[in-house]
């Protein structure tokens, strides 16, 4: 019999799995590909005006120039909390390296943040960080090392991917060898480190602050990316949305 506090691999992988917004099947209906604008136009009457305004506000603050990586996820609650922080600070992409063999259950949840994020599951560190480096991200490891650059002194305004370890094993030696810099949070008390989800909230908040200060806004999506995200969010927000789209396409076919 398993430990009562243990989460199953299926629990964790369900949290980090999902059809991403770059999946073309969102826009494939039978033998035709529908552009995002058409989907939005069809579903527009089914989305409350207040919700539409909220989506536009969130789209205006969204970025893909900051990404989050969880290295060796273990605690379901901490991963959920990191997702919530990422979504709250306008980050669209979260990457999780699925290299653990046991997982810890938690009562904390992402509270729906995972629904709005693009979640990427990786089986190893090399592939994950290698892909991000190819996409021109600077890889920053959130680290308790006293020699790490203070988060308030680091330049967080470029294209960066924050890498977080887990509370059981920390960060793998492989990951340490692949990142570009170590960034830490200055500590004044007796404790030597923070819970990983608390640390993530602090560094993501500082990243957001610096981006606002430098650019005047956090959001920097291209028009095509905003259009695609808007269409996918409409599809996710409207009950039986795909049936509504199919019916409208058939009526105008």
Q: Which two tokens stand for residue 205?
A: 């908040």
Query: Is the predicted pLDDT of residue 4 greater than 50, yes or no?
Result: no
pTM of the model: 0.87
Going by their DSSP bridges, the two strands 28-29 and 32-33 should be labelled as antiparallel
CA distances from 217 to 60, 208, 214 (A): 8, 9, 8
The total of other beta-carbon atoms located within 10 Å of residue 208's CB is 20
**Banded pLDDT at 174 (limits 50, 70, 90):** confident
Query: Is the predicted pLDDT of residue 220 greater than 70, yes or no?
Result: yes
Q: How far apart are CA 48 and CA 27, in angstroms?
A: 22
Q: Under CATH, domain 6-23+63-220 is a member of which superfamily?
A: SPOUT methyltransferase, trefoil knot domain (3.40.1280.10)
Q: What is the pLDDT of residues 112-124, one digit of tens each?
A: 778 899 998 888 8
Residues of the chain with CATH 3.40.1280.10: 6-23+63-220
Q: Mark out the alpha helices in 137-195 (DSSP H runs).
A: 173-178
Query: Is the predicted pLDDT of residue 84 greater than 50, yes or no?
Result: yes
CA atoms within 13 A of residue 35's CA, in its CB half-sphere:
5
Q: What does the angle CA 64 – CA 117 – CA 173 come to, to the nearest 5 degrees?
A: 75
């Amino acid at each position: 019999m398993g430990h009562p506090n243990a989460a199953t691999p299926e629990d964790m992988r369900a949290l980090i799995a999902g059809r991403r917004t770059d999946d073309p099947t969102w826009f494939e209906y039978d033998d035709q590909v529908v552009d995002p604008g058409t989907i939005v136009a069809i579903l527009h009457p089914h989305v409350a005006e207040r919700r539409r305004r909220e989506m536009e506000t969130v789209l205006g603050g969204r970025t893909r120039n900051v990404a989050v990586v969880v290295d060796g996820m273990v605690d379901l609650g901490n991963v959920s909390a990191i997702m919530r922080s990422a979504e709250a600070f306008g980050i669209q992409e979260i990457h999780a390296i699925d290299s653990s063999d046991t997982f810890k259950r938690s009562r904390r949840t992402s509270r729906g943040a995972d629904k709005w994020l693009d979640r990427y599951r990786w089986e190893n560190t090399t592939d994950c960080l290698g892909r991000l480096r190819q996409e021109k991200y600077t890889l920053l490891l959130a680290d308790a090392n006293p020699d790490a650059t203070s988060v308030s002194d680091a330049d967080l305004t470029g294209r960066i991917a924050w890498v977080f370890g887990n509370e059981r094993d920390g960060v793998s030696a492989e990951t340490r060898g692949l990142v570009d810099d170590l960034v830490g949070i200055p500590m004044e008390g007796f404790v030597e480190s923070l819970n990983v989800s608390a640390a993530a909230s602090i560094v993501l908040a500082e990243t957001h602050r610096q981006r606002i200060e430098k650019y005047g806004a956090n959001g920097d999506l291209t028009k095509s990316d905003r259009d695609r995200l808007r269409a996918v969010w409409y599809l996710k927000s409207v009950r039986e949305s795909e049936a509504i789209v199919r019916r409208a396409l058939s009526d105008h076919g």
